[in-house]
Structure 1
C-alpha cells in the first residue's frame, strides 16, 4: 500500500486528537484528557529538540500517526529515541504499513545521529510483540518503570 508521512503541524492538532483518542480506546487506556493531550501535542509540534510527530497518510487521508521522543543514553553511546506512540487504523493494519513506518523511523533516526530506537508494548499484545521482533526489536529483559511527577 502506498503511504506517506506528513510532518505534524499545529493545524493538525484536531486530526491528531481524534486519532489519539481512537488509539487510547482501542488499547484500553482508562483516561483520555483532551486538554492535557492538546497541550503536550502543541509543545511537541513546536519544540523539535524533544521529538517529532508524523501523520501516516494514504491518499492524503490520515490513517494513523507516530510520535518519536528524543533522549540520551550513555549505555547506547549518545542520542536515543523512543517510539512514544504508533497507531494505524485497524482497517489498514496487516498491509505492511507498520513495517514501512518502522523503516521510515529508522531512516529518520540515522539522519539525526540517533544510536538506539526503543518502544514499549503491552504484555498481553503478543501480535504486536511478534511484529516488533520481526522488524528487529529485541526484548531487553527489563521492566519499564514509571513515576508520574505532575498529577494534573
Structure 2
C-alpha cells in the first residue's frame, strides 16, 4: 500500500532518509537538518514537494519523495522522483513498480513529464525504469551551492 506521509511517520521517515543518504544510491550524504526541513515541507503541504510511505501488512517498509518544477523544455510542470527508499528485506517485491504506476495515475493530468536520477551502478533500478517507459537523458547535471 502507498499513502501520503503523515506527521506520525516523522521518526520512521527520518531514520529511512538517513539510511538512504548513507547508501550507494547517492553521491554524498546531507545534513540531518535538510531531512527535518524536508519533512516539515511535506507536512505543511508545500506545492513543491510530496512524500509517500510504503506499507506492507501494516509495517512501514519505505518512502518516496517527489518534487514539482516548471520546465520550458517539457512545456509544463515536471514531477521529479527525488528519492525512493525501500528497506533491504523488501527490495525486489514490486514496490518500485507500484510507486511509478501510482504516481502516473495521480499526476497524469497535473504534469507533462516525470523525471528521476539513478546511479549508473544501480542496474536493478535502471532496468525497472526502462521497463516502465523511462528513457535516458544525455545531460550532465551541474550545481552550485548557495
TM-score by length of 1: 0.87
* Aligned mates of 1:48, 1:110 — CA distance in 2: 19
Q: How does 1:1-150 map to 2 (within 5 A)?
A: 4-27=1-24, 30-111=28-109, 113-149=110-146
* Aligned mates of 1:85, 1:133 — CA distance in 2: 17
Q: How many pairs are equivalent?
A: 145
Q: Is the 8 A contact 1:13 1:42 kept in 2?
A: no
Once superposed, which parts of structure 1, at least 4 consecutive aligned residues long, lie more than 6 Å away? none
Q: Is the 8 A contact 1:68 1:83 kept in 2?
A: yes
The Cα of 1:30 is off from its aligned counterpart by: 4.2
SS at match of 1:117: strand
Gaps of 5+ in 1: none
Gaps of 5+ in 2: none
* Aligned mates of 2:13, 2:136 — CA distance in 1: 29
SS at match of 1:79: strand
TM-score by length of 2: 0.90
* Aligned mates of 1:35, 1:75 — CA distance in 2: 33
